[in-house]
Amino acid sequence: MPDTYRCVFCEIVAHRAPAHVIDEDDLSLALLDIQPFTEGHCLIISKRHVPWWHELTDDEIASVFRMAKRVARNLGSVFSPEFVCMYTRGRRIPHTHIFLVPTMKGDVLDGFFNALERFQESPETLAAIKHPQALAATAAKIRSSKG
Ligand SMILES: [Zn+2]
């Protein structure tokens, strides 16, 4: 990362950039996404700059997911969605952030994940990796990994 790179999430954690903060503890912060998919779309970020969620410490993981649960329950209470979708990515801003999106049947996120699930179920494309022996080999590989 170049020296001039200023991570917007680190700036928010340091209170040098504005944000609509929803919740905060020692290790995590929840804020509204400024480009929401739906009303109430929130992000849960780690306070420490860590690009990928699986690189967080166990304490950070516990904090981030506890906060995600707490905020998701509040979103459910306020917006009455069908459910609160949670996912994490981090390609645009390389600082761990979990998306919490109140989701209803037929909205953009529902359509996106329906399309993804249709792809997942397409037999020609994924036949090689969904064969029972291939699945057993994949599970064994993951189980034996030392991370
Ligand atoms: Zn950062």
Same domain for 77 and 31, yes or no, is yes
Residue of 15, 49, 97, 131 with catalytic role: 97
Rounded to 5 degrees, what angle do the CA atoms 80, 85, 86 make? 135
Indicate if the pLDDT at residue 3 is higher than 70: no
Same domain for 91 and 110, yes or no, is no
What's the 106 CA to ligand 1 centre distance in angstroms? 33
Question: CATH number for the domain including 74?
Answer: 3.30.428.10
At residue 90, the pLDDT reads 81
The 3-class SS string of the chain reads CCCCCCCHHHHHHCCCCCCCEEEECCCEEEEECCCCCCCCCEEEEECCCCCCHHHCCHHHHHHHHHHHHHHHHHHHHHHCCCEEEEEECCCCCCCCEEEEEEECCCCHHHHHHHHHHHHHCCHHHHHHHHCHHHHHHHHHHHHHCCC
In this prediction, what percent of the chain has a pLDDT beyond 90? 72
What's the 50 CA to ligand 1 centre distance in angstroms? 7
Residue 23 and residue 29 in contact, taking contact as beta carbons nearer than 8 Å: yes
At residue 1, the pLDDT reads 53
Indicate if the pLDDT at residue 2 is higher than 70: no
119 confidence band (pLDDT: 50, 70, 90): confident
What's the 72 CA to ligand 1 centre distance in angstroms? 23
Same domain for 112 and 46, yes or no, is no
pLDDT of 71-105, one tens digit each? 999 999 999 999 999 999 888 899 999 999 999 99
Indicate if the pLDDT at residue 12 is higher than 90: yes
Task: Based on the residue annotation, tell me whether 97 is a catalytic residue of this protein.
Answer: yes
Same domain for 70 and 109, yes or no, is no
What is the domain range of residue 122? 105-147
Residue 39 and residue 102 in contact, taking contact as beta carbons nearer than 8 Å: yes
Give the closest residue to 46 by CA, choosing from 62, 29, 32: 29
124 confidence band (pLDDT: 50, 70, 90): confident
pLDDT of 35-53, one tens digit each? 998 999 999 999 999 999 9
**28-32 and 42-46: which strand pairing?**
antiparallel
Same domain for 111 and 99, yes or no, is no
At residue 7, the pLDDT reads 95
Same domain for 17 and 35, yes or no, is yes
For the chain, give the mean pLDDT: 91
Q: How many domains does the chain have?
A: 2
Whole-model pTM: value is 0.82
What's the 26 CA to ligand 1 centre distance in angstroms? 15
Indicate if the pLDDT at residue 31 is higher than 80: yes
What's the 47 CA to ligand 1 centre distance in angstroms? 8
